[in-house]
Amino acid sequence: MSDSCIFCKIVAGAIPSKKIYEDDLVLAFLDIHPQAPVHALVIPKRHIVCMDDLEEADRELVGHLLERTAHVARLLNVAQNGYRTLINTRAHGGQEVDHLHVHILGGARIGPMVCR
């Protein structure tokens, strides 16, 4: 846990969130500023800053995170029509919260990926 990390505080329950799914390893909750009709985040409970911090020892956790992301998309009823998953890494990737998270965006057709 990082004392200064918003998502660690959400995991600890110190900051409220609209929780969708939780198990020992991961937590899913709604994004506070949704960019789509359905916008959720799925995070490892352990503080991992970003993709670039992943190591071989994290393979099982990452597999679980991705499989549970698919589960959460089904819980949110976006799986059948489809959704976009997104992981931003550091400044050029647009990462604002330094705790690894998978975005789920759905509920409407998500626009093209753009560079701007």
Q: Could you say which of 39, 99, 101, 103 is catalytic?
A: 101
| Residue selected from 47, 95, 107, 110 as contacting ligand 5GP according to rule CB under 6 A | 95
Q: Would you call 42 exposed, middle or buried from its count of C-beta atoms within 10 A (0-12, 13-18, 19+)?
A: buried
| Distance between CA atoms of residues 45 and 57, nearest Å | 16
Nearer to ligand 5GP, 68 or 99 (CB): 99
| Distance between CA atoms of residues 47 and 5, nearest Å | 8
Q: In the chain, count of helices (H) and strands (E)?
A: 3, 5
Q: From the list Zn ion, ligand 5GP, none, pick the one residue 31 interacts with, judged by a Cβ distance below 5 to 8 Å according to partner type.
A: ligand 5GP
Q: From the list ligand 5GP, Zn ion, none, pick the one residue 8 interacts with, judged by a Cβ distance below 5 to 8 Å according to partner type.
A: Zn ion
Applying CB under 6 A, does 112 fall inside the site for ligand 5GP?
no
| Distance between CA atoms of residues 23 and 74, nearest Å | 16
Catalytic site residue 71?
no
Please identify, among the stretches 19-27, 70-78, 91-99, 107-115, the one whose residues bind ligand 5GP according to the rule CB under 6 A.
91-99
